[in-house]
Structure 1
Amino acid sequence: MISLQPIPPLDTVPAPPLRFADRTHRMVPSETRALFSMAARENVVSLAGGMPSPEALPAEELRAVLQEVLAAEGPQALQYGSAQGDPVLREQICDVMAAEGIEASPDEVLVTVGSQQALDLVTRVFVNPGDSVVTEGPTYVTALSTFAAHQARVVEVAMDQGGVVPQALADAFALLAAEGRPAKFFYTVPTFQNPTGRVLGTDRRREVLDICRRAGVLVVEDNPYGLLHFGERPHRALCADAPEGVIHLGSFSKTLAPGLRVGWARAPRAVTDKLVLATESAMLSHSGLAQRAVSRFLGTRSWHGHLATARSLYRDRRDAMLDELAAVMPDGVSWTIPAGGFFVWLTLPAGLDARMMMPHAIEGGVAYVPGTGFHTRGGERHLRLSYSYPSAGQVREGVRRLSDVIRAEWAHGDASRLQEAVGR
């Protein structure tokens, strides 16, 4: 006769150990996300998050669009779809990219859950642990998180007012090649860069593309802000002049609505095929409802009118920030002058540290993002300001509060330096 041992109560059995993958040790929260809880306080003006203005989100039009989609094609919109994305939307994305000079086929386009997923897929397809990725320094904070999660070695290349420095880029490629660790790709946000707001100039774009071509390095062009220009016309995309050497990432998050989570990657067909396979393994397909809503908006509403309204709103808020910075900032503080996008990059006087100053700024009623989050190392004297979300009045008030904080920090530093000198 078989004797069965009694099963001990589950609450007496220890939980299994959590054997996380090595890559999880490099997953850390971004500086921007960590600030949101502090910046959400009622008495704090947040110049931190790069979110679209609520006034630029066409909520009523999208409500009507969603009703139209569900009424006309509800069963299809609520069903599984192609991993590559809705074919009609992919054609429309080609039309959207044409404004920046890109000639593309729908077969080269993959629809993604925002451009962030596109970047993750590209990194997943190209990067093995230990591979080298070259970036601008500073660069988009969540791109650094993505590269870290895939265990890439990130090599920063210096920027100046005109964008990435070409000779520094060429030197980085040469050094990596000499080490036997050639770069897998060069990641860049060439137009209204996050975090600096800078634009890679026309001549320098050609030079950068030539350097990458000669080095045999693919370019990943992240372009969420290109259509939010404050001039007469958008800048020509890198992809427009080197379609076989550039993967172009785009998004409707900044131009339409981030909650729809619709972006894309345009790549050479062989790359797109790999990205589609990576999408299938990760999520089968993403929201058919969101894709069809964007498609119907593009097809039945005034896309160009919507963009013009958004550009005017953001230009006014950019002007409010620049005017107030010029009026109230103390000597020794400098900043970029963006011609589009969401961001101003501010440089503090020597001796001040934006990360160390952050708690005092929150106490003073203003939030920003310290520059260290946009670098693998360094950036202590820098901070990112965003004018996109708060009203023009809030922007001005936030800048005034920041000026007060900087003056107080500088005065405290002077007192500390004097005390140290007396002590010696």
Structure 2
Amino acid sequence: MTAEMTLTEAAGNTGDGRADLRLKELHASLSDPGLDSMNFLNEITFRYPEAISFAPGRPYDGFFEVEQIFAGVRAYIDHLAASGRTTAQVKSELFQYGPAAGQIREVIADWLRKDERIDVPAASIVVTVGCQEAMVLALRALVRGPQDSVLVSSPCYVGITGAARLLDIEPVAVPERKDGFHAEDLARAVRAERARGRTPRAFYVVPDHTNPSGTTMTLEARQELLELAGRLDVLILEDSPYRLVSPGSRLPTLKALDTSRRVVHLGSFSKTLFPGARVGFAIADQTVETGDPGRTGLLADELAKIKSMITVNTSPLSQAAVAGMLLAAGGRASELNTETSAYYGDAMRHTLERLDAAFPAERRERLGLRWNRPSGGFFMAVTVPFLADNAALARSAERYGVLWTPMSYFYPDSGGERAIRLSISYLSHQEIAEGVDRLARFIEAEAAATS
């Protein structure tokens, strides 16, 4: 395969020029530009492996040791034995399918109480294959059909919009302002949906160091959102994966502030422990009328039903590794992330300092260049004086050896055409310095070409 040939072209090169299937005969979501955009980014990364990449939102590899996995599994086995499990029962928990809702729910509930001050029964937790499955389960359970809708903060994580479209749900954008979320914007969107004859079921938001913009919701905004959700009878889908890997004090999650079961919290151990485990969870403590007189269940039970038809259960071995790591740290993932949160905080500061040095205030003003200053997380947004599309990304990779992500990928409607997302999580300080220098040369060249 030549460097010029994309992975898609290589796979489709059958020799006779004929295709086995037509895209228009497949599900409509497969023609969605959002899915194509991420494929393009993957292909660019493959084509230019030597480029410095500010694109992936991956944890830094330097914190991982293979022995951690074995130690985690061993700690969980010891925990089971200490809890009175027989050898046969331990073997079954590791080798067999296990319950759809998960077998480490008590461990997760203990961690949530200690680290996040979220006090929910273990029965309200469903252990999922990453947070992505939790999103799919929540969307599938809550949205009955085209008469219902889901609102998303815009720009937002492509995983939620992609999952919605795979389920034939068209996400409704609630624009995020420069200073973040405003409750009146959600109220306006809810009213507009009801005027169209649709029922807004839930609002998806990342309150802490959001992907892609890096903004964090204030405590006042969190309280306003919860009050509004209760008044408008809308659930909140809260996704907050960057809290424990960010420096400084943390504001309470929406779920910790939730007193009326308005929040379905979607979580993951991908950033706090390791992404290869693919262990996430949903907290769904909302009560559900079952149709039987006097009997109610939990939304978590309904999510578990759906999960049993999708992934059956989450890998028991992955669950064991995650639970063992939590148990070894006294149930506190925060204790495991003291060093990592400091590292990512330093990486963000270093990136901002290099950008400041490359583009002093006067030069930024003249170019129309600006960026935000997140207090944590993996991402930041840079507004640029040119069209930051796939063609620009290809030029950046080929001529300057630096990758980034177009912000337009993250807008369910239109937007972000002249902005880029930078991820600071996967690079060393030396790579950040060289990467920003390359990025600066690219921005200068593009600005000159379009002036």
TM-score class, shorter-chain normalisation, is 0.7 to 0.9
Report deviation, 1:186.
0.4
Judge conservation of contact 1:197–1:338 (CA < 8 Å) in 2.
yes
Report deviation, 1:209.
1.4
Bigger mean CA offset, 364-373 vs 302-311: 302-311
User: Aligned residue for 1:36?
Assistant: 42
Quickly say closer, same or farther: Cα 1:366–1:172, change in 2 above 3 A. Answer: same
- Establish whether residue 296 from structure 1 lines up as the match of residue 324 from structure 2: yes
The residue identity in structure 2 corresponding to 1:60 is E
Report deviation, 1:37.
3.5
- Establish whether residue 281 from structure 1 lines up as the match of residue 301 from structure 2: no
Judge conservation of contact 2:150–2:200 (CA < 8 Å) in 1.
yes
**TM-score normalised per structure 2:** 0.83
Report deviation, 1:242.
1.8
User: Aligned residue for 1:419?
Assistant: none
* SS of corresponding position for 1:264: strand
User: Aligned residue for 1:54?
Assistant: 61
Report deviation, 1:58.
4.2
Deviations 1:127-148 (A, max 9, x none): 2443321111100012111111
Report deviation, 1:286.
1.8
The residue identity in structure 1 corresponding to 2:403 is A
The residue identity in structure 2 corresponding to 1:171 is R
Equivalents in 1 of 2:432, 2:168: separation in Å?
38
Bigger mean CA offset, 269-278 vs 73-82: 73-82
Judge conservation of contact 1:192–1:199 (CA < 8 Å) in 2.
yes
Report deviation, 1:226.
1.6
Question: In structure 2, which of residues 59, 71, 92 is the aligned counterpart of residue 64 of structure 1?
Answer: 71
Quickly say closer, same or farther: Cα 1:128–1:287, change in 2 above 3 A. Answer: same
Bigger mean CA offset, 315-324 vs 39-48: 39-48
Report deviation, 1:33.
4.8
Judge conservation of contact 2:371–2:380 (CA < 8 Å) in 1.
yes
User: Aligned residue for 1:3?
Assistant: none
Question: In structure 2, which of residues 194, 203, 212 is the aligned counterpart of residue 195 of structure 1?
Answer: 212
User: Aligned residue for 1:171?
Assistant: 188
Judge conservation of contact 1:30–1:142 (CA < 8 Å) in 2.
no
Quickly say closer, same or farther: Cα 1:129–1:23, change in 2 above 3 A. Answer: farther
Report deviation, 1:56.
2.4
- Establish whether residue 159 from structure 1 lines up as the match of residue 176 from structure 2: yes
The residue identity in structure 1 corresponding to 2:54 is L
Q: What are the residue-to-residue correspondences of 1:169-318 with 2, within 5 Å?
A: 169-231=186-248, 233-242=249-258, 244-269=261-286, 270-301=298-329, 303-318=333-348
Bigger mean CA offset, 65-74 vs 145-154: 65-74
Quickly say closer, same or farther: Cα 1:135–1:405, change in 2 above 3 A. Answer: same
User: Aligned residue for 1:325?
Assistant: 355
Report deviation, 1:20.
3.8
Deviations 1:199-258 (A, max 9, x none): 010101111111221111110001111212211x22201111225111001100011110
The residue identity in structure 1 corresponding to 2:405 is V
Question: In structure 2, which of residues 111, 121, 131 is the aligned counterpart of residue 105 of structure 1?
Answer: 121
Deviations 1:14-48 (A, max 9, x none): 98999645555559526345323422434200000
Question: In structure 2, which of residues 392, 400, 407 is the aligned counterpart of residue 357 of structure 1?
Answer: 392
Provide structure 2 residue ranges, at least 5 long, that are not aligned to the other structure. 1-18, 82-89, 287-297
Question: In structure 2, which of residues 435, 438, 443 is the aligned counterpart of residue 406 of structure 1?
Answer: 443
Judge conservation of contact 1:26–1:149 (CA < 8 Å) in 2.
no
Judge conservation of contact 2:246–2:344 (CA < 8 Å) in 1.
no
Q: Between Structure 1 and Structure 2, how many residues are aligned?
A: 397
Deviations 1:92-122 (A, max 9, x none): 2223323233211101110000111000111
User: Aligned residue for 2:105?
Assistant: 90
Equivalents in 2 of 1:17, 1:141: separation in Å?
25
Equivalents in 2 of 1:225, 1:16: separation in Å?
41
Report deviation, 1:70.
7.0
Q: What are the residue-to-residue correspondences of 1:389-404 with 2, within 5 Å?
A: 389-404=426-441
Equivalents in 2 of 1:96, 1:223: separation in Å?
15
- Establish whether residue 346 from structure 1 lines up as the match of residue 352 from structure 2: no
Matched residues, percent identical? Answer: 32
Question: In structure 2, which of residues 107, 110, 130 is the aligned counterpart of residue 114 of structure 1?
Answer: 130
Quickly say closer, same or farther: Cα 1:121–1:406, change in 2 above 3 A. Answer: same
Report deviation, 1:343.
0.5
**TM-score normalised per structure 1:** 0.88
Judge conservation of contact 1:83–1:284 (CA < 8 Å) in 2.
yes
Provide structure 1 residue ranges, at least 5 long, that are not aligned to the other structure. 1-13, 415-424
User: Aligned residue for 1:337?
Assistant: 373
- Establish whether residue 124 from structure 1 lines up as the match of residue 124 from structure 2: no
Quickly say closer, same or farther: Cα 1:111–1:151, change in 2 above 3 A. Answer: same
The residue identity in structure 1 corresponding to 2:394 is P
Judge conservation of contact 1:252–1:263 (CA < 8 Å) in 2.
yes
* SS of corresponding position for 1:164: coil
Equivalents in 2 of 1:308, 1:120: separation in Å?
31
Backbone CA RMSD of aligned residues = 2.3
Larger Rg: 1
Judge conservation of contact 2:149–2:171 (CA < 8 Å) in 1.
yes
